[in-house]
A and B are shown apart, each in its own frame.
Chain A
Amino acid sequence: MFDSIKELVETATKSGKPLSELIIDAEVKSSGVSREEVWEKMKRNLNTMRQAVTKGETGEGVHSPTGLTGGEAIKIREYRKKHQTLSGDAMMGAVQAAVATNEVNAALGVICATPTAGSSGTLPGVIESLQNRLDLDEEALIRFLFTAGGFGLIIANHAGIAGATGGCQAEVGSASGMGAAAAVEAAGGTPQQSAEALSIAISNLLGLVCDPIAGLVEVPCVKRNAIGTANALVSADMALAGCVSKIPADECIMALDKVGKQLPSSLRETGIGGLAGTPTGQAIKAKIFGEDA
């Protein structure tokens, strides 16, 4: 287990080993299970993610019990077929996968939390894009997940990943940073570029509040994953282009932690402030749970 991103990047740079390899080594060492078992477990997680994407974007898609979310991955799918998209087809394919995953989550389907269920669409979205653009095989995608997890572990231990303690920036923000860092490795970038991508991605979502309508992981969570995915890809591209974050990754994570602590409770997964507190948000809540809720 690595204590900081600086340590992880320095170890990778000095040893010449890929980040994913170092993270697999650390996992094997700390868990005491074999490399094969660790690899197989991650493979199962990847398969779960792929199944959730397929479920959400096939046929009529899925709908949540409340009817608040669902079917929009299908709308994106149809739109891509008929139109020249503004952000490009690969980007909208990624967005579709992200939305599909979180719609399955809201519909009480099976997903892989990355790092949380509310932010479970962000990495599958990035994976979709990497598959399309770089034609990555399964091994590379499993490595992608290890790298994302390794960076996520550092974020979780220094800032936290719960909306109730750190806002959405701790969930979709963390997922986006993890995805950006791992996408850089998948695209052949350097460990330092991975750190830059993570910094850029987290900086862009700093301060994002957790304000679920009626306390449900639906609105705005599903669409925030679309933005988490897009932000990860843009941040990875910027880092690969040589752009740098002026603030080191570990300090961006410190900022994430501090901003989370400064957020009032109404904006940390209580369903009180932000969009949840709007007249329409309140009306939806009353309709779902009754006036006394």
Chain B
Amino acid sequence: MSGNYRSVFDIIGPVMVGPSSSHTAGAVAIGKAARSIFQEVPKKVTVHYYESFAKTHRGHGTDFAIAAGIMGFPPDDARVPMAPELAKKAGIDIRFVEEEGPSPINHPNTAILDLSDGDQHNTQVGGCSVGGGAIEIRSIKVQGVELHPSGPLPIVLYLDRDKNKPLIKGLAKMLDESAKLKKQQTKLVHDGELYEFDMLKYLKPKQIAELKEKFKGIVCLK
């Protein structure tokens, strides 16, 4: 059993603007995840599509969906179909590229996003839409260093600038108690140590708020 779907609302839901849960609602979620990881409004986004996404993104509204996610719109927001124009007005340049060949993260519904502030801040996020609006994040590249999470959300990311080991121990304990920690990994990046945690259960809104207060800049992908 894969166990990647964790709530009855993964099946009955999301409430969304059509036409496709995987190619539209899931694409909104990938855009939103990428924006959360980037942690600021990007100036430039290049979206690389693979396989089914490359073949059918136009018909499924995947372009406006990814733009909507980057803009932070929920999947049932009436502005979703207008997101590319709204992004342009907001000064975000979003481009879409249909890539040939298989997905580098091994799923037919793949979008790999390159986000940039037009200067030094660059991040790459590889997401796939696994069905019914659910997504997985299978690759993240921050400061030139690549991470490969297991995929299913929730995923928690934290950049520890002070290399404070006891702090991270506390974070891992807190995560394990609230949402069962499945796996954690760490990579040395320019600004410190980047930690990635794969969780087995969804974090509750209260727990996310608590984490954000205690660990500045923490990213909780749900």
Q: Which chain A residues have a beta carbon within 8 Å of chain B's beta carbons? A: 1, 3, 23, 26-27, 30-33, 41-42, 44-45, 48, 64, 104-118, 120, 123, 145-146, 148-150, 152-153, 156-158, 160-165, 170, 178, 212, 214-218, 265, 268-272, 288-289, 293
**Contacts A153-B8, A158-B1; is A111 near B16 (CB within 8 Å)?**
yes
Judge whether B48 is part of the interface by a CB distance below 8 angstroms.
Answer: no
Bound: A288/B8 CA distance, A: 37
Bound: A73/B115 CA distance, A: 43
Instruction: Flag B144-158 by CB within 8 Å of A: 1 or 0 each.
Output: 000000000000000
Decide if B129 touches A45 in the complex (CB within 8 Å): no
Decide if A164 touches B3 in the complex (CB within 8 Å): no
Bound: A84/B61 CA distance, A: 40
CB-CB under 8 A from A111, the residues of chain B are 15-16, 18
- Pick the residue among A109, A118, A146, A268 that contacts B8 (CB under 8 A): A146
Within 8 A of A (CB), among B1-31: 1-25
CB-CB under 8 A from A48, the residues of chain B are 15, 76
Which stretch from B38-46, B50-58, B209-217 is at the chain A interface? B50-58
Which stretch from B87-95, B117-125, B130-138, B160-168 is at the chain A interface? B130-138
Q: Which of B21, B51, B61, B107 has the most CB of A within 10 A?
A: B21
CB-CB under 8 A from A157, the residues of chain B are 1-5
Q: List 7 A-B pairs, minimum CB-CB distance, nearest first.
A: A162-B131, A215-B56, A105-B18, A152-B11, A149-B8, A215-B59, A217-B19
CB-CB under 8 A from B59, the residues of chain A are 212, 214-217, 271, 288-289
CB-CB under 8 A from A163, the residues of chain B are 22, 131
Decide if A215 touches B108 in the complex (CB within 8 Å): no
**Contacts A30-B201, A212-B59; is A45 near B13 (CB within 8 Å)?**
yes
Q: How large is the interface on B (under 10, 10 to 19, 20 to 34, 35 or more residues)?
A: 35 or more
Decide if B55 touches A272 in the complex (CB within 8 Å): yes
**Contacts A149-B9, A153-B10, A164-B108; is A108 near B22 (CB within 8 Å)?**
no
Judge whether B204 is part of the interface by a CB distance below 8 angstroms.
Answer: yes
Bound: A110/B76 CA distance, A: 6
- Pick the residue among B2, B12, B18, B133 that contacts A106 (CB under 8 A): B18
Cβ-closest chain A residue relative to B54: A270
CB-CB under 8 A from A1, the residues of chain B are 3, 6
Decide if B18 touches A217 in the complex (CB within 8 Å): yes
Decide if A117 touches B12 in the complex (CB within 8 Å): no
What total of A-B pairs shows CB separation below 8 Å? Answer: 192
Q: Which chain B residues have a beta carbon within 8 Å of chain A's beta carbons? A: 1-25, 51-52, 55-56, 58-61, 76, 78, 81, 107-109, 129-133, 201-202, 204
- Pick the residue among A26, A27, A108 that contacts B18 (CB under 8 A): A108
Decide if B108 touches A117 in the complex (CB within 8 Å): no
CB-CB under 8 A from B51, the residues of chain A are 164, 265, 270
Decide if B131 touches A160 in the complex (CB within 8 Å): yes
- Pick the residue among B18, B24, B108 that contacts A268 (CB under 8 A): B108
Decide if A42 touches B12 in the complex (CB within 8 Å): yes
Chain A nearest CB from B56 CB (Å) reads 3
CB-CB under 8 A from B61, the residues of chain A are 108
Q: Which of B8, B58, B130 has the most CB of A within 10 A?
A: B8
Bound: A147/B55 CA distance, A: 35
CB-CB under 8 A from A158, the residues of chain B are 1-2
Cβ-closest chain B residue relative to A26: B8
Decide if B15 touches A117 in the complex (CB within 8 Å): no
Decide if A162 touches B130 in the complex (CB within 8 Å): yes
- Pick the residue among B12, B17, B19, B78 that contacts A148 (CB under 8 A): B12
Bound: A58/B130 CA distance, A: 34
Decide if A108 touches B19 in the complex (CB within 8 Å): yes
Given contacts A148-B11, A217-B60, 14 further A-B contacts (CB under 8 A): A3-B1, A23-B8, A42-B12, A110-B17, A111-B18, A117-B133, A153-B7, A156-B4, A161-B132, A162-B109, A164-B22, A212-B59, A289-B59, A293-B58
Chain A nearest CB from B52 CB (Å) reads 4
Chain A nearest CB from B171 CB (Å) reads 19
Bound: A146/B7 CA distance, A: 11
CB-CB under 8 A from B3, the residues of chain A are 1, 157
Chain B nearest CB from A33 CB (Å) reads 7
